[in-house]
């Protein structure tokens, strides 16, 4: 039986990361793999695409046992948004459904954080975050009447990493660990997850 899309992506990224690639290579080769995964929106299990009325949801799709990467479905109800936050590891954000608006934030001399220009991601597009260059941002569902979903890939087990949210005006930092909303991860070998490329 042919591998499903998510399994194909997991295999591709695992193979790529075996070579300890540079971030530049991850953002080229790894990005291509993610673009293939999100090309057609027909594979994300229904249970992992459900919005919450109050909070955006983070559903774990797969985590590498060696913590080299994790894949997370972010589901945003209308107008939901993140606080200003960091990641501490590289990340790629692939738009699967709807549209999201992102803005990077930059630390100023007085300790506050200022937003750069915001940009919109449409289905099929991939944005990145990197602790070396642009690790702090805000992401929002850009639609007021629809759910938006993006597939995030990080260079670590993002739900277990201690990171920070920032008050942009004062620069005050609060540590948090996000965890994941789902108690179970999808079975990548189940026929329902075997939509071929
Ligand atoms: Fe983020």
Q: How far is the CA of 137 from the centre of ligand 1 (A)?
A: 6
User: Given this model, what pLDDT does residue 192 score?
Assistant: 83
Q: Can you list the positions of beta strands (E) in the chain?
A: 57-63, 70-76, 84-85, 91-97, 100-107, 113-121, 126-129, 137-141, 148-154, 163-166, 173-176
What are the helix and strand counts (H, E) for the chain? Answer: 3, 11
pLDDT at 195 over 80: no
Q: What percent of the chain has pLDDT over 70?
A: 98
Q: How far is the CA of 193 from the centre of ligand 1 (A)?
A: 26
Q: How far is the CA of 104 from the centre of ligand 1 (A)?
A: 10
Mean pLDDT along residues 10-34 = 97
User: Given this model, what pLDDT does residue 15 score?
Assistant: 97
Q: How far is the CA of 89 from the centre of ligand 1 (A)?
A: 10
Q: How far is the CA of 49 from the centre of ligand 1 (A)?
A: 18
Q: How far is the CA of 6 from the centre of ligand 1 (A)?
A: 21
pLDDT at 145 over 80: yes
Hey, what's the torsion of the CAs at 117, 122, 124, 126, to 10 degrees? 20
Q: How far is the CA of 7 from the centre of ligand 1 (A)?
A: 24
Give me the domains of the chain, ranges plus CATH numbers: 5-183 (2.60.120.10)
Scanning the structure block, which residue is given the tokens 């009325």?
53
Length of the chain: 197
Mean pLDDT along residues 150-165 = 98
Give the bridge partners for 165, in sequence order: 85, 174
Mean pLDDT along residues 16-29 = 97
Q: Quote the tokens at residue 7.
A: 């399994």
pLDDT at 191 over 90: no
pLDDT at 180 over 90: yes
pLDDT at 194 over 90: no
Q: How far is the CA of 109 from the centre of ligand 1 (A)?
A: 23
Segment 162-176, tens digit of pLDDT: 999 999 999 999 999
User: Given this model, what pLDDT does residue 23 score?
Assistant: 97
Distance from C-alpha of 130 to C-alpha of 142, rounded to nearest angstrom = 23
In 3-state terms, what secondary structure has residue 153? strand
Q: How far is the CA of 187 from the centre of ligand 1 (A)?
A: 26
Binned at pLDDT 50, 70 and 90, residue 193 comes out as: confident
Q: Quote the tokens at residue 90.
A: 């590289």
Distance from C-alpha of 62 to C-alpha of 44, rounded to nearest angstrom = 12
Segment 39-85, tens digit of pLDDT: 999 999 999 999 999 999 999 999 999 999 999 999 999 999 999 99
Binned at pLDDT 50, 70 and 90, residue 1 comes out as: confident
Hey, what's the torsion of the CAs at 28, 32, 34, 38, to 10 degrees? 140
Q: How far is the CA of 83 from the centre of ligand 1 (A)?
A: 9
Q: How far is the CA of 87 from the centre of ligand 1 (A)?
A: 6
User: What's the chain's average pLDDT?
Assistant: 96
pLDDT at 2 over 90: no
User: Given this model, what pLDDT does residue 196 score?
Assistant: 60
Q: How far is the CA of 146 from the centre of ligand 1 (A)?
A: 20
């Amino acid at each position: 039986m042919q591998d499903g899309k998510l399994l194909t992506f997991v295999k591709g990224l695992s193979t790529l990361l075996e070579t300890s690639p540079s971030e530049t290579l991850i953002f080229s080769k790894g990005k291509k793999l993610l673009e293939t995964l999100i090309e057609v929106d027909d594979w994300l299990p229904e249970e992992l695409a459900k919005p919450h009325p109050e909070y955006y949801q983070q559903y774990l799709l797969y985590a590498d046992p060696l913590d080299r990467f994790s894949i997370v479905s972010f589901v945003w109800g209308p107008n939901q948004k993140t606080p200003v936050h960091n990641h501490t590891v590289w990340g790629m954000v692939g738009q699967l459904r709807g549209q999201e608006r992102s803005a990077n934030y930059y630390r100023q001399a007085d300790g506050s954080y200022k937003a750069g220009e915001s940009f919109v991601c449409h289905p099929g597009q991939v944005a990145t975050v990197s602790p070396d260059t642009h690790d702090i941002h805000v992401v929002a569902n850009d639609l007021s009447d629809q759910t938006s979903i993006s597939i995030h890939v990080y260079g670590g087990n993002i739900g277990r990493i201690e990171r920070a949210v920032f008050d942009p005006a004062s620069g005050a930092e609060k540590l948090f660990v996000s965890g994941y909303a789902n108690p179970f991860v999808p079975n990548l070998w189940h026929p329902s997850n075997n939509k071929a490329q």
